[in-house]
Structure 1
Amino acid sequence: MAAEPQTTDHRKRPRRRGDALIAAILHATVQELEERGYAALTMEGVAERARASKASLYRRWPTRAELVMDAVYSVIPDPGELPDTGELRGDLISVLTRTARLLDGPAGQALRGLMAEVLPSPERMGQVRAHAQGMGRQMMEEVTRRAVHRGEISPEALAPRRMEVGQALLRNHFLFHHEPISDEMVEEIVDEVLLPLFNTSPVNSAT
């Protein structure tokens, strides 16, 4: 006698709560972005893939944009885990290369889709900008802090706006040129823009 087929109804499975449920939903969102892209991503599709209820998604993320932002930034490495190459140039190349690889994957698809979706809303546009700038700034702050500790640059060189320059150049190229960011471009940004910038004090650079 043939065995009865196993049910796949998520309601029959052990219920997940808290961090486990959130992690499953964010992971499912990233997978949906990889396979379907931002435009085709739906809350229903994410819920089905995560074997969760739509209600559990909407309780935490009222909109698709908010869910996608959290999902994308859940896969970005912690700034404290960035490799230490022993020099500022190597660290800057490492940071910008990581950003370039992220933009070439689901994070890039999400960023393009989010920009188009939230552009009419200044409030939501501000949320996307805060997410994007915040993580990039943290990575730059980490590698420049190391450089100060090694004596490569002066603490006075770490003006807040300078922390955004490298990441902003990458995002600008990605959004407006629609092509992968090459290793050569990363090195050009580091050698021609960031290293001269961080080796100049704010007072001197303004004169």
Structure 2
Amino acid sequence: MTSDDQQRVRAVGRGPKVRAAVHAATLAELVDKGYAALTVDNVAQRAGVHKTTVYRRWEDRESLVVDALTEHVAADIPVPDTGAIDTDLRELAAALVRWLTSPAGQAVLAAMFSDAARLPEIAEARTRVLDDRLRRAEPVISRAVERGDLPAETDPHELLKALAAPIYFRLLVHAEPVDDATAEHAAELALAAAHAGVLRRR
């Protein structure tokens, strides 16, 4: 290792600073090169740490990408608590649209969907990221059920999927632009379906 490399490693520090630096480097590599070309070696070099430091915390490329993406999505799409399910759903949908149309969101989408056909591991990574998102947002629906704003048998995951589905369909299937109006419409559809009782637990 050169003296410059040693200085970069020392500058990163330990603990949370290392994790943050590696997460940032992972996302940067994903944006620049896509999932297929992402390597732990390049992530470590960009983060200014030894690759052994990365492997001590993440066992492989998939777990590293999943961890970085879940934290990134959680930060960019916060879970609202406005006290009303209609405004909670609108805020969730609007935050999803903002993220999907951001440079980072577009790069992540491209990597997670275009590479999936030739890299089976990315399908698993995508599932893990989406499952984490559903888990984090589930309290929005649970609180609404407790307040009596939604039917008692409403399935949180089904409602959240119904909220996201129109947005992803427009963006990925029809290649249409999505905006605040898209988010508003998605929230209205999901809420109507929940009130109609079609999103019950099975």
Q: Distance in 1 between matches of 2:23 and 2:121?
A: 23
TM-score (norm 2): 0.76
- Residues 148 and 154 in structure 1, CA contact (< 8 A), matched pair in contact too: yes
**Pairing 1:46-195 to 2, within 5 Å after superposition:** 46-59=43-56, 60-63=58-61, 65-77=62-74, 82-105=79-102, 106-120=104-118, 122=120, 124-139=122-137, 141-158=138-155, 160-191=157-188, 193-195=189-191
TM-score (norm 1): 0.74
Q: Percent identity?
A: 27
Q: Which runs of 5+ in 1 are unaligned?
A: 1-6
The CA RMSD measured in Å over matched residues stands at 3.2
Judging changes above 3 Å, is the alpha-carbon distance between structure 1 residues 129 and 170 closer, same or farther for their aligned structure 2 residues? Answer: farther
- Which of 181, 188, 192 aligns to 1:196? It is 192
From the CA coordinates, give the structure whose radius of gyration is larger. Answer: 1
Q: Which runs of 5+ in 2 are unaligned?
A: none
Judging changes above 3 Å, is the alpha-carbon distance between structure 1 residues 61 and 99 closer, same or farther for their aligned structure 2 residues? Answer: farther
Judging changes above 3 Å, is the alpha-carbon distance between structure 1 residues 86 and 161 closer, same or farther for their aligned structure 2 residues? Answer: closer
Q: CA deviation at 1:88?
A: 1.2
Judging changes above 3 Å, is the alpha-carbon distance between structure 1 residues 57 and 168 closer, same or farther for their aligned structure 2 residues? Answer: farther
Q: Distance in 2 between matches of 1:67 and 1:102?
A: 20
Tell me the number of residue pairs that the alignment of Structure 1 and Structure 2 aligns.
194
**Deviations 1:153-174 (Å, cap 9, x if unpaired)?**
2221236433322123323332
**Deviations 1:56-88 (Å, cap 9, x if unpaired)?**
33452522x54333222112337xx63322321
Q: Which runs of 4+ in 1 moved over 6 A?
A: none
Judging changes above 3 Å, is the alpha-carbon distance between structure 1 residues 101 and 120 closer, same or farther for their aligned structure 2 residues? Answer: same
**Deviations 1:143-201 (Å, cap 9, x if unpaired)?**
2222223321222123643332212332333223445421111111111x211111123
Q: CA deviation at 1:122?
A: 4.7
The residue that corresponds to 1:25 in the other structure is 22
